[in-house]
């Protein structure tokens, strides 16, 4: 069980990192493009994340049982830390728009979560990991 939980978290962190890098490149080129596009891509990004969460939930329920869904909630807290950190770092490398790099926060992008500042993201990630340890030790 522990191996499955650790492996799932490592894959989730990898997904979070690559999503941040991908969105960093997307928004860099979108903001520097001469073409005008009124299409809001954010719902597509969120749909993709929901689909990945559903697949992850199915895998975890199949291998660990229904209590593993609590770990999925914790993984949402972890996602913001890694995704936003790599997004800001990538944008800084591409165009210097986020000088604090990993520790920066969005100034113009709509905030979909209360975990928008670096300190809140760090607290959320810590709670996510600690809660998963608690879930593993006492519920699974």
Separation between Cα atoms, residue 34 and residue 126, nearest integer Å: 41
The overall average pLDDT reported for the chain is 88
pLDDT computed for residue 12 by the predictor: 94
How much of the chain, in percent, has pLDDT values that exceed 90? 46
Residue 88 backbone zone (phi > 0: left; psi -120 to 50: alpha; other: beta): alpha
Question: pLDDT tens-digit profile of 25-81?
Answer: 998 998 888 888 788 888 899 899 999 999 999 998 998 888 888 888 899 889 989
Question: pLDDT tens-digit profile of 89-119?
Answer: 999 999 998 999 999 987 665 555 666 788 9
Three-state SS for 40-107 is: CCHHHHHHHHHHHHHHHHHHHHHHHCCCHHHHHHHHHHHHHHHHHHHHHHHHHHHHCCCCCHHHCCCC
pLDDT computed for residue 115 by the predictor: 67
């Amino acid at each position: 069980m522990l191996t499955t939980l650790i492996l799932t978290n490592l894959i989730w962190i990898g997904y979070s990192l690559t999503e941040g890098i991908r969105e960093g490149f997307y928004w860099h080129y979108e903001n520097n493009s001469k073409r005008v596009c009124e299409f809001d891509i954010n719902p597509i990004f969120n749909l993709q994340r929901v689909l990945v969460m559903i697949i992850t939930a199915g895998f975890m329920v199949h291998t660990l049982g229904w209590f593993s869904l609590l770990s999925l909630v914790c993984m949402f807290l972890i996602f913001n830390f890694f995704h936003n950190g790599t997004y800001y770092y990538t944008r800084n490398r591409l165009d210097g728009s986020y000088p604090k790099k990993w520790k920066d926060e969005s100034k113009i992008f709509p905030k979909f979560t209360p975990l928008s500042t670096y300190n809140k993201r760090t607290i959320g990630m810590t709670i996510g990991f600690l809660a998963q340890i608690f879930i593993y030790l006492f519920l699974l």
